[in-house]
Chain A
């Protein structure tokens, strides 16, 4: 009889153990970001980690180093290590789809932050900046402030990222209506500050007469400004960025940068972590895609903003 009681007790303990394993607070979130070599993505990753912690979950940040192969390894590790959700900033809109599908197959939900993957149903939800609209505003401001005249340069981000083209197309959807504005060079600098500087240096040799440069992010804008400054042309060339990074906000205050478009990484990271939490609690009807608004920042409204967001 005693043996039966002991057996029943052990069985009950076993069930209790199972329950604790499925308890929400034993779940953990993997945060896989394209690069940690850019302060914007560091902020995105750290905000996601902070929100996961606030919700009671353990998390770990993985740096894909802008390489889909490294990203694939992170996904494999995250799945094998028992992470229950992946908050994901993809490296490549097409190249990252396979990684998301791998997680989906393993039953791990993926919530994309800021960058899109080109698949309508691979990710559980995609929380994205409305980059195109932000650059429409920048384009309009650019046309008005240049009186629709001058030679300009465009420095693009990573060519495999949808945001690169959303920003470029948003800007051109306005600027291309004005034939007095002539794009004399368009080159990628991979969203990287040092590459932005190198690309600008090289373009300046072929086109010393430019009056403006539109960059796909603030890191490249700051790099381009550095090159213009070294060439003694900073005062004659208008620089536009995108992101709302700290040095660009300061750059607008100092008159180095004409305008940027403020993204809200905090909103995207927190929404992704909140969605993962809701998923753990049983929610399944997530919007496949949700856009986060972008706001133009210029000298006129600079006092409303701080790095990566609005003043409280």
Chain B
């Protein structure tokens, strides 16, 4: 009789243990919070553009001064104003300025600055990491997955393509005076100032 009680008690305990470990209860609010943690690159890009990128663009160096510095003392210019996430030669600069449009084609507008620099602003190929990396605010380790970091670039570029370019492209013409701010990349080992392509974040026709 005693053995039976012990046997059934043991079986009951084992079954109880299995049942206890098979079923988990979680608060619905916790599950919802966990689902909400999934990274949303579009929302991140929106907040980044409004709260960080545009203020950084407002404080960017003037194009004429920056290019003069890059010509005269590139090492100092890269040290002072360039940022980049990667180990390597590609670095990004924020820049702002003004100028008169001298040409418009399907991919770019070309302008001449008060300092007589000819610059190219992209209006078609809005790709790459210039706007994400140039302010030096975002770091690789802010993201658990590299693809999240990559998607931020894609979404910021999408915002520029959808919001910044259409009103500008529909009106801009040769002879217009414009103001701009944006970012561009340079290879610090092979500096080619003749081929700077600015990815805009703000464009206005005066």
Contact = CB atoms under 8 A, between A and B. Distances in A.
Interface of A: 116, 118, 120, 128, 130, 132-133, 136-137, 139-140, 143-144, 162, 165-166, 169-170, 173-174, 264, 267, 271, 287-295, 304, 310
B73 interface: no
Given A137-B128, A140-B125, A293 B150 contact: no
B125 A293 contact: no
Contact of A291 (B85, B128, B145): B85
Contacts of A144: 125
B88 A264 contact: yes
A130 B128 contact: no
A118 B88 contact: no
Interface string B133-147: 000000011001111
Given A133-B129, A173-B127, A291 B140 contact: yes
A291 B86 contact: yes
Interface of B: 84-90, 125, 127-129, 140-141, 144-147, 150, 153-154, 187, 189-190
A287 B141 contact: yes
A61 B88 CA distance: 27
A118 B147 CA distance: 11
A118 B145 contact: yes
A288 B141 contact: yes
Nearest to B157: A173
Given A118-B145, A128-B146, A166-B150, A291 B90 contact: no
B87 A132 contact: no
In the A-B complex, the 10 residue pairs with the smallest Cβ-Cβ separation, listed nearest first, are A293-B88, A293-B86, A132-B150, A120-B144, A291-B86, A292-B87, A289-B140, A173-B154, A293-B90, A174-B127
Contacts of A166: 146-147, 150
Contacts of B147: 132, 162, 165-166, 169
Contacts of B88: 130, 264, 267, 292-295
B150 A139 contact: no
A130 B84 CA distance: 12
Nearest to A116: B146
A116 B189 CA distance: 28
Nearest to A129: B86
B198 to A, nearest CB: 15
A279 B173 CA distance: 59
Nearest to A288: B141
Given A120-B144, A295-B187, 19 more contacts: A130-B86, A130-B88, A132-B146, A133-B129, A139-B127, A140-B127, A143-B125, A144-B125, A162-B147, A165-B147, A166-B150, A169-B147, A170-B150, A174-B127, A289-B140, A291-B87, A291-B146, A293-B84, A293-B89
Nearest to B154: A173
B178 to A, nearest CB: 24
A295 B90 contact: yes
Interface hub of B141, B146, B147, B189 (most chain A Cβ within 10 A): B146
7 contacts: A133-B128, A143-B125, A264-B88, A271-B87, A287-B140, A291-B140, A293-B84
Given A169-B147, A169-B150, A136 B87 contact: no
B87 A295 contact: no
Contacts of B128: 133, 136-137, 140
Contacts of B141: 287-289
A199 to B, nearest CB: 25
